[in-house]
């Protein structure tokens, strides 16, 4: 019995080493989700606590805004960048102590918001003004990307990965703004890139952050495709974009992308009826057909959604 147990432990140890798992990954196996921990009565308590936290932050923000003109440059930097850095350090400390794992995500969020703001304040207060705001934003997003990515590589905490992806695309956007790359194809490619990255993350243990990026990136693909193709002779390809989205939704087993597919197809159908049927006698008939198609699309989406949830 003891030998079998020892063999199992040795096997577990080797698996941990092969897959570079850390303490948190193992703990996550035994941890229920935070929503499951809260029964309905406790959910209200959680909601009130969150609301209270928001009020405290709002109050602090308003107070800082009121005294902003009366404090010196150093105080402004300490309030913003200093608080952000402290939150970042505390989040790193939380990763090494299992007792504070619940405080980890709030600290990461606070650091992810306050640090970029603080860096802008620091540049505004201490560096010469060149008038090139976009370049300043490039430096801030680049710094945050490097910091969050290094933190993720060191700790393997999902929250840092979330902000790494966020600042990566923010940095790309700033580069595009800086170099004035404004071709209509750019947002489409960015959206596709984001979907690929989200799908890649979905295959790892950090998949909890992917619904947010699936939603944002598929929305970007849908809207950017519309910008690219509307009022051109290729606008019929918008239907193809919707089909690609539904294909991605099925492959990624994501109901979020499916929702974006339904919304985008509705939008495209409204565009097509407005563009091609508005000023003809059959306009009311077109509206009826549009309504029927929308109902059909919704029913189809619900069917696919059920299939996705049954396979998940």
Partner 1 sequence: MSASSFIKKNKVLVAGIILPFLLIAALMLARLMTFEPPQYKALFYVSKPNAKGAIKVTKNNDGKISAAFQPKDSEDTTIAYNAVGTPNVVLYLYDGKSGSLESTEVTLDQNEQVTPLQKFQDLEILPSFISPDGYEFRSPYYSNRGSTLIGFFGGYRYYGGPVLKKNNYVIEIVGVNDYNSAVFLGWVNEGAVK
Which residues sit at the interface with partner 1, rule CB under 8 A? 20, 129-134, 168, 172-173, 175-187, 189-190, 192-201, 203, 220, 223-224, 226-227
Element (H, E) at 228: helix 210-229
- Give Dmax over CA atoms of the chain in angstroms: 85
Q: How far is the CB of 14 from partner 1 (least distance, A)?
A: 15
Q: Name which of 170 and 242 has its Cβ closer to partner 1.
A: 170
Q: How far is the CB of 36 from partner 1 (least distance, A)?
A: 29
Q: How far is the CB of 25 from partner 1 (least distance, A)?
A: 15
**What does the alpha-carbon distance between residue 214 and residue 260 come to, in Å, rounded to a whole number?**
9
- Residues 6 or more apart from 131 whose CB is under 8 A from it? none
How many C-beta atoms lie closer than 10 Å to residue 251's C-beta? 10
- Residues 6 or more apart from 248 whose CB is under 8 A from it? 195, 199, 218, 254, 257
Q: Name which of 159 and 194 has its Cβ closer to partner 1.
A: 194
Q: Name which of 132 and 307 has its Cβ closer to partner 1.
A: 132
Q: Name which of 37 and 183 has its Cβ closer to partner 1.
A: 183
Q: How far is the CB of 227 from partner 1 (least distance, A)?
A: 4
- CA angle (275, 281, 285) in 5-degree steps: 80
- Name the nearest CA neighbour of 300 among 252, 242, 219: 242
How many C-beta atoms lie closer than 10 Å to residue 91's C-beta? 25
Q: Name which of 71 and 189 has its Cβ closer to partner 1.
A: 189
Q: Name which of 38 and 226 has its Cβ closer to partner 1.
A: 226
Output the six-digit token pair for 66.
């009121």
Q: How far is the CB of 58 from partner 1 (least distance, A)?
A: 26
**What does the alpha-carbon distance between residue 273 and residue 126 come to, in Å, rounded to a whole number?**
55
Q: How far is the CB of 132 from partner 1 (least distance, A)?
A: 6
């Amino acid at each position: 019995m003891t030998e079998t147990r020892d063999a199992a432990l040795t096997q577990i140890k080797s698996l941990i080493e092969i897959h570079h798992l850390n303490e948190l990954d193992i703990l996550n196996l035994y941890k229920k989700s935070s929503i499951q921990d809260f029964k309905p009565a406790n959910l209200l308590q959680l909601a009130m606590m969150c609301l209270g936290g928001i009020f405290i932050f709002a109050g602090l923000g308003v107070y800082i805004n009121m005294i902003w003109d009366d404090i010196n440059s150093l105080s402004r930097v300490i309030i913003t960048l200093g608080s952000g850095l402290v939150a970042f350090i505390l989040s790193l400390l939380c990763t090494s102590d299992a007792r504070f794992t619940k405080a980890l995500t709030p600290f990461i969020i606070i650091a992810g918001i306050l640090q970029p703001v603080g860096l802008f304040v620091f540049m505004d207060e201490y560096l010469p003004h060149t008038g090139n705001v976009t370049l300043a934003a490039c430096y801030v997003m680049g710094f945050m990307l490097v910091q969050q990515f290094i933190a993720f590589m060191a700790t393997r905490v999902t929250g840092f990965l979330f902000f790494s992806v966020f600042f990566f695309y923010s940095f790309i956007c700033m580069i595009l703004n800086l170099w004035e790359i404004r071709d209509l194809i750019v947002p489409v490619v960015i959206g596709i890139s984001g979907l690929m990255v989200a799908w890649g993350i979905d295959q790892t243990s950090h998949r909890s952050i992917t619904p947010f990026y699936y939603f944002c990136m598929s929305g970007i693909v849908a809207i950017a495709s519309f910008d690219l193709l509307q009022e051109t002779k290729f606008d019929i390809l918008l239907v193809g974009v919707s089909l690609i989205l539904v294909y991605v939704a099925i492959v990624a087993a994501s109901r979020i992308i499916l929702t974006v597919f339904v919304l985008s197809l509705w939008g495209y159908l409204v565009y097509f009826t407005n563009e091609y049927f508005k000023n003809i006698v059959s306009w009311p008939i077109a509206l009826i057909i549009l309504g029927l198609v929308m109902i059909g699309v919704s029913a189809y989406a619900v069917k696919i959604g059920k299939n996705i949830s049954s396979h998940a």
